[in-house]
Structure formats: C-alpha cells, structure tokens
Structure 1
Amino acid sequence: MDKPEYRSALIVGTGPGLSASLARLFARQGLSVALAARQLDKLAALAGETGASLHACDAADPDAVAAVFKDLDAKGRTPDVVVYNASNRVRGPLVDLDPADVRRAMEISAFGGFLVSQQAARRMLPKGHGAIFLTGATAGVKGFALSATFAMGKFALRGLAQSMARELSPKGIHVAHFVIDGGIRSDARPVPDNAPDSLLDPDAIAETYWATLQQHRSAWSWEIEVRPWVERF
C-alpha cells in the first residue's frame, strides 16, 4: 500500500510550541520547510536548526498571504503540505468585549485559515495531491464562558475544515482538522510535578500530524482529537 510523498511544507502561525515541533519533525523527514508569522525575530534559531525559510505574514491579510505563496512558487518550493496554526484569543464577559478586538481575533482564527487554505488549494488541485491541516481547539467543539470570541473563531475553522474535506478530498487533497483538547506544555507552562503528562507534549502532537499525513487515501481522517490522559471530555 503506497503512502503519499510530500516534499515541501508551509507552517503559518509559527511560535515556540507546536509549530516549532512540526518544523523540526518535517525537516527530519526530509521536507523543505517554510515558516510564516507576523514576527520573525524569535524564529532565527528555529530556522537555522531546520533550514526553514522565514516569511513575514499577517495571516488575515489576503495580499500578504498570497505574497508568501508566490515567493515560495518563485523559489520552486510550492508547498504540498500546509498547516494553519494561527489563532487569537480575546477573553472576557460578552457585554464588555471590544468589537474591534473581536473582529481582529476572528480574522486571525478563521478568516486567515480560509485565505491560506484557498491559496494552497489553488496550487494543489491541478496536481491532485496535497494536504491542508488546520489546528483547532476544544473551543471549536464546545464554547466556554468568557470565551465567546475564541469559540466563534474555532467553530468557524472547524466548519471550514469539514466543508473543505468534503469538497477537496475526492480531488486528492487531504484536509484534516486537529482538536487540541488541553493545554500544551512549554517552558512557560511546565508540567506540574504532581500531575505527570497532564499537558500535551508538542512533539507528541507533531507525531500525530505526521501519522495523519502518512494515511493512505483509502482511510483518510478528516478530524483528529488529542488530549492528555487525565483530560475530561
């Protein structure tokens, strides 16, 4: 049973957590890696480690997103794997939320996912090959109090993924949505000594993305949930 082969990955919304783990894993697996983020100053070390190219990009700006893809096209590095990992949170009582802040958060969490997916699909469809992965959250399955904005954005992203999977999968594009159901471990958020493995290991999440990427098309998943073993659901 043949597994799909991928050569070039673009990760949009790159930081020190999951995106960094994905970049390292993709690079180890032989893919060329491109990293896109609004701020690139903290990504130099990761780029050096993975050989990734860096691209300044506001994911909610159609022209900026298109420019990243055009730049990669010109360099012969058009991605056949695209991961959208950007999001924005605005937390607070519904009646106190600033509409401008809510709009901006929605643009990053959901509209940006559409922009990136659209550019990716335009390049993948003629080849009948590619993968578009969208990073979701618990908030895309159930909305929590004081978190209306994040819930709206992640619900929209999940709907986008489901619609794209139904439209693009029969045309050879693997679309998958990942529900990250729990907190992710980081230097700023270490695992408590009294609760081992109670936070998601970003390297372990990345391995799940890779396993999904390697699925044969006869058994594609459109949605994957990952959660710590002690997380309630």
Structure 2
Amino acid sequence: MSTTALIVGAGNGLSASLARLFAKQGFSVALAARQIEKLTQLSSEIGAVSFAADASKPDQVEQLFIDVENKLSAPNVVIYNPSFRVRGPLVALDPGEVAKTLEITAYGGFLVAQAAAKRLLALGGGAIFFTGASASVKGYPLSAPFAMGKFALRGLAQSIARELAPKNIHVAHFVIDGGIRSTIRQDPADKPDSTLDPDAIAQTYLNILQQPRSAWTWEVELRPWVENF
C-alpha cells in the first residue's frame, strides 16, 4: 500500500524536520501551507509535493485532500502543525485577531481531522497527529487567545482519539513545552541542549507512529532537560 504523509502548516523548523524524516522512511510527502513559495527548497530537497491551502477554510481543506489523493495517494498520516497567536492584555485584544487565532489554531485542526478521518476510515486505519504547545495545558498571562486555541486543539485530539482508536486510527497530541531550536534561536554556549532540537521532536513523532496498537498513547510531552514544568 502507498504511504503518504501530509503535513499541514509546513514551513521551516519542526515541519521541515518531519518532512525530511518521513521522506527518509520512504513516505511520499505532501506539504501544505498558505504560501508555498517558502517550501520550494524543501520540496526540491526531499522530492515532496507542495499544495497551497488555508487550513481554516472548509472548501480549501477539502480541495487539499482531493489534490493530495490525485497527485500522490490518500494520506495515511496527517500532521496538523499550523498556529497563530496574538498577545496582549485582555482588555486590549482585537476581537478579529482573537477569532483568527481560534480559526487557525483550533478550527483548522477540526477541518483537517474531519477530512483525514473520512479517508482513513475508508483505508482501514492510519494516524492523525496534532502539534500542541506549553499553552495547551498552561494559560500564560497576556496570551489568552493562544491558550484558548491550543486548549481547544487538545480537547479535539482527546475526544477523537477515544472515538477513532477502536477504528484503527491513531490520534496523538504532542505538547511541545519549550522553545524549538532554529537558526535564529541557538543554544547559548553555556547551556547546551536548552532548546528542543526539531529533528529530535520529529523522531518522537515517528516513534509514536510506529507504536504497536496494543500500546498506543494519545499524548506525549516534550521539553529540554533544563525546562521548568
């Protein structure tokens, strides 16, 4: 059977590490983002196919899955990685920006999970993974919209994990509790491994995907060894 991994909200950092790892494992990789110009180099590097889609728009999500199915195959693994945040005091928050945070961070997760589940039920199994954050379990000050979105995404994951696991669909939520290392966020010389290595995070996603179904987990937390929690 063909194996296709769809990463929604693709870009640099974690999603790029996931794409490289899944390509190395022999998956066909589909990358989805609102602006696919940023994916040109990565797609060329690993032979992935890029698709333009706004995950918060139902018609675009449905078209995304149709396009992936036509160009590759129905995805066996779907990873939801987008997020958006607006920060500020509660009384100063722009309601429109708050709504946008919820649409991208949580509502889009529902749309992608629904479209994925329809295909995976027909296939007889697969996996749907959600990328969470510290805000999935802790509401920080001046960050109410992001906490709202990530709490909602976690609730979605927990609910559908219970619904879909008996149908051979593995749903998992990943709490990324700490800063992810990047070209602009490097570890200080005196504090090695104080940020999360995106390649190491990606390896955990693969480990969860490879779990025997007699011992599935629906959630895992990841943080650097020096992170407070």
Give me the TM-score of the superposition, normalised by structure 1: 0.97
* Counterpart contact for 1:6–1:81, Cα < 8 Å: no
The residue number in structure 2 matching 1:96 is 92
Deviations 1:156-207 (A, max 9, x none): 0000000010000000000000000000000011111121100000000000
Q: Secondary structure at the match of 1:19?
A: helix
2:162 aligned with 1:160: no
Moved more, 72-81 or 106-115: 72-81
Stretches (4+) displaced over 2 A:
none
SS at match of 1:134: strand
1:76, distance to aligned residue in structure 2 (A) = 4.3
Matched, 1:195 2:184: no
1:49 equivalent among 40, 45, 54: 45
What is the TM-score with the length of structure 2 in the denominator?
0.98
What are structure 2's unaligned runs of at least 5 residues?
Answer: none
Contact (CA 8 Å) 1:86, 1:109: kept in 2 or not? yes
The aligned residue for residue 61 of structure 2 is 65
Residue 116 (structure 1) shift: 0.3
How far residue 24 of structure 1 moved from its aligned partner, in angstroms, is 0.1
Specify the SS of the correspondent of 2:45.
Answer: helix
Q: Counterpart in 1 of 2:141?
A: 145
Matches within 5 A, 1:170-209: 170-209=166-205
What amino acid does structure 2 have at the position aligned with 1:114?
A: F
**Is 1:20 aligned with 2:26?**
no
Give 1:178's aligned amino acid: F
Unaligned ranges ≥5, structure 1: none
Instruction: State the alpha-carbon separation in 1 of the partners of residues 124 and 165 from structure 2.
Output: 9
Pairs within 5 Å for 1:120-139 = 120-139=116-135
Matched letter for residue 223 of structure 1: E
Percent of aligned pairs sharing the same letter: 66
Q: 1:6 to 1:220 in 2, by over 3 A?
A: farther
CA distance 1:6–1:170, change in 2 (3 Å): farther
- Structure 1 letter corresponding to 2:47: G
> For the Cα contact (< 8 Å) 2:157–2:173, is it kept in 1?
yes
AA in 1 matched with 2:21: L
Residues 132 and 153, structure 2, Cα contact 8 Å, conserved in 1:
yes
CA distance in 2: counterparts of 1:191 and 1:40, whole angstroms: 29
